[in-house]
Amino acid sequence: MPAEQLHLPISEHPRLREIADALHADPADRSTVAQWGSRVAMSERTLARLIRQELGMSFGRWRQQMHIIQALQRLSAGVSVQRTAEDLGYESVSAFITMFRKTLGKTPARYFADKADGIN
């Protein structure tokens, strides 16, 4: 996966910034767009449009990007895969590994082994 796809766009829009800050503080929060809309006093459709307009992707894709970046930070700091999965709110380690593999093309163990060996 090219590095530019790991970029996490952050909007300066106050409501989107509030959501980003909340998810950064509690990445395990699995609230839907509708639930976030209620929290920031916007309809689900308006919030979804704003997210797509400001961030260039859907809310689900954006949250997944945030999770991948946080996972890489945690795993590279030595946090276990199990603990990382729990911290990010995944119901199981296998669900986390599946998301990781679908996004980066490798399991966390293979990703870091390849990085250590100088393989991209």
List the domain boundaries for the chain: 11-56, 59-120
**pLDDT tens string for the chain (120 positions)?**
334 357 899 999 999 999 999 999 999 999 999 999 999 999 999 999 999 999 999 999 999 999 999 999 999 999 999 999 999 999 999 999 999 999 999 999 999 999 888 887
Give me the pLDDT at residue 4, please: 38
Give me the pLDDT at residue 1, please: 39
Other CB atoms within 10 A of residue 102 CB: 9
Give me the pLDDT at residue 117, please: 85
CA separation for the pair 96, 119 (Å, rounded): 23
CA separation for the pair 63, 82 (Å, rounded): 19
CATH level 2 (architecture), domain 59-120: Orthogonal Bundle (1.10)
CA separation for the pair 113, 1 (Å, rounded): 16
Q: Residue with structure tokens 């679908």?
A: 102
